Homo-oligomer: A and B are copies of this chain.
Amino acid sequence: MNPESLSPAEPAAATGASSRAEPTAATRDAAPTDPTTPPASPFPHAATLHDVARDAGVSLATASRVLNGSERKVAEAFRERVERAAEALGYTPNMSAQATARGRSPIIALLVADIADPYFGQIAAGVARGADERGLVVTISITERDQDRENRILRALRGQRPQGLILAASRADRSDDTGVAGSAPSELEAFERYGGRVVAFGDRPDVGGEGRGARSIVIDNAGGAEALGRRMAALGYRTAIGIGAAEGVRTSDDRLGGFARGFVAGGGTVARIHRGDFRRESGASAMTEALAEGVEPGTLVFGMSDVVALGAISAIRAAGRQVGTDIAVCGFDDVSASSDVSPSLTTVRVPLNEAGYQAFRAVVDEDWTQDPLPVEVIVRDSTPGVA
C-alpha cells in the first residue's frame, strides 16, 4: 500500500526509520545487526506480536486489536499494514500467552475411559466437531476406568484451567454410595467454582448445586432398553439373560432395568443377570459362565452394551452353540461393528456422535437445554424371533 494514499492514517513508519528502521520481515534470527531483534540461538522463536507491530510500525496494542478480535475499531490503513506484516512473518498468536493474558484458556478437556472403544471414539468425534466449529481445542485423557487414575487426572487437569470438562464414563455415572457423582466431587466443584463448566454423561444431580454447573447429557438408556425389551417379547422370546456391569453402575443399571421392565411387560422373564464390566472380554466370560449354568435354546441374551454383546456372541460360538436361532443376542449402542457381525446384532441405536456434540454445546453455550437424543431399536439377524 503506497504510503502517499494514506490520509487519515499515514502511519509514522511509512515516513521513515523512526520506530521502524529497516527490519522488515527477514528479521529475527540472522543478522546480529538489528538491536530490536531477539537472539537467534538454539531455535529461532516463532514470530511474536511484537515483531509484527515493529514491522508494521504500529504499537502492540494496535497489532493486537487487529489480529485478535477486539471491539475497538482500527483504521483501515493500519489494519492493512498489520495484516501484511503478520502474513509476511507467518505470525500465529501464542495460545498460552493469550490464555494467561485473558485469564481464560481455549481448552475443553475430555475425559474418557478408553479412546479405542468405539463408544468413546464416537463421543470424542462429536466433541471435536463442536470444538472445531468454535476454534477451541480439546485435550483428551484416559481413565482406563480406574477411579484413582481418574482422580489423579482430574487434579492434573485443573492445571489446564479448561473452559470446560466433559466426563464420559467416569465413575461419574455411578449412583451408589454418595448419591453424588463419583469423581471426587471436590475436584469437580473446584472446576466449577473457578468458572469452568463440568458436563457429564449420565446424571450428575448434585455437584455444583443449583448453580450454573451441573449439566449432564442424558441418554435414555432405560427408555431405549424398555422398548427393546418389549420388542423382543413381541418377537416371541420368553426367557432372557442379562449381562451387565456391577450393580451401581448407572448406565448398566438403567439399561438392565429398562430392558427387564419392557420384557416382562411383554410377557417375558429375565432369568438371571451376570455381572462384569464394559469390556468385550467381560461379556465373553459372563456368557461362558451363563452357558456353564445351562442356557435353553430360544433364550435371549441382552448385553448391556454392544461391545459386551459382541463378546457374548464370541463365547456362544466358542461353545459350539448357534447365535440367532439357538441363542438370540441383543445389545445397546449400535457401534459400527454391530452391523458387521454375522448374524448382525439387534441393538438400540444411540446417536453417540451427536451426544458428544451436545456435551460440547453444554459446555460452551451459556443458555443450553438438552435436545433429547432419540434412541431407536434396531432389529437385526441376531434376534430372528421364535416361531
Indicate if A139 sits at the interface (CB-CB under 8 A).
Answer: yes
**Is the contact region of chain A dominated by helix, strand, or loop, or is it mixed?**
mixed
The answer to whether A190 and B90 have CB atoms under 8 Å apart is: yes
Nearest opposing residue in chain B for A162, CB measure? B95
Contact partner of A137 (CB less than 8 A), chosen from B115, B128, B139, is: B139
The answer to whether B115 and A161 have CB atoms under 8 Å apart is: no
- A99 / chain B contacts, CB cutoff of 8 Å: 96
The answer to whether A100 and B96 have CB atoms under 8 Å apart is: yes
CB distance from A365 to the nearest CB of B (A): 18
Nearest opposing residue in chain B for A137, CB measure? B139
The answer to whether B43 and A195 have CB atoms under 8 Å apart is: yes
- A159 / chain B contacts, CB cutoff of 8 Å: 92-95
Nearest opposing residue in chain B for A103, CB measure? B45
Indicate if A288 sits at the interface (CB-CB under 8 A).
Answer: no
Indicate if A64 sits at the interface (CB-CB under 8 A).
Answer: no
Interface size class of A (residues with CB under 8 A): 35 or more
Indicate if A76 sits at the interface (CB-CB under 8 A).
Answer: no
Indicate if A291 sits at the interface (CB-CB under 8 A).
Answer: no
- A44 / chain B contacts, CB cutoff of 8 Å: 193-194
Nearest opposing residue in chain B for A122, CB measure? B116
Contact partner of A118 (CB less than 8 A), chosen from B46, B118, B158, B310, is: B118
Nearest opposing residue in chain B for A97, CB measure? B100
CB-CB contacts of A320-342 with B at 8 A, as 1s and 0s? 00010000000000001101111
The answer to whether B160 and A137 have CB atoms under 8 Å apart is: yes
The answer to whether A115 and B124 have CB atoms under 8 Å apart is: yes
Copies in the complex: 2
Indicate if A42 sits at the interface (CB-CB under 8 A).
Answer: yes
Q: How far is the CA of A158 from the CA of B142 in the complex (A)?
A: 24
Contact partner of A314 (CB less than 8 A), chosen from B132, B280, B340, is: B340
Q: How far is the CA of A278 from the CA of B122 in the complex (A)?
A: 17
Indicate if A117 sits at the interface (CB-CB under 8 A).
Answer: yes
Top 8 A-B residue pairs of the complex, sorted by shortest distance between their CB atoms: A337-B337, A96-B99, A43-B195, A342-B342, A116-B125, A116-B121, A92-B158, A96-B96
28 A-B pairs with CB atoms under 8 Å apart are: A43-B194, A44-B194, A46-B190, A92-B156, A92-B159, A94-B100, A95-B96, A95-B160, A95-B161, A96-B105, A96-B161, A115-B124, A115-B125, A115-B128, A116-B118, A118-B118, A121-B121, A125-B142, A132-B153, A135-B156, A137-B141, A138-B139, A139-B140, A140-B140, A336-B337, A337-B337, A337-B341, A341-B342
Identify 10 new A-B residue pairs, CB closer than 8 A, beyond the known A43-B195, A107-B139, A115-B124. Answer: A38-B193, A45-B194, A46-B190, A100-B100, A115-B128, A132-B142, A137-B141, A138-B140, A280-B336, A337-B340
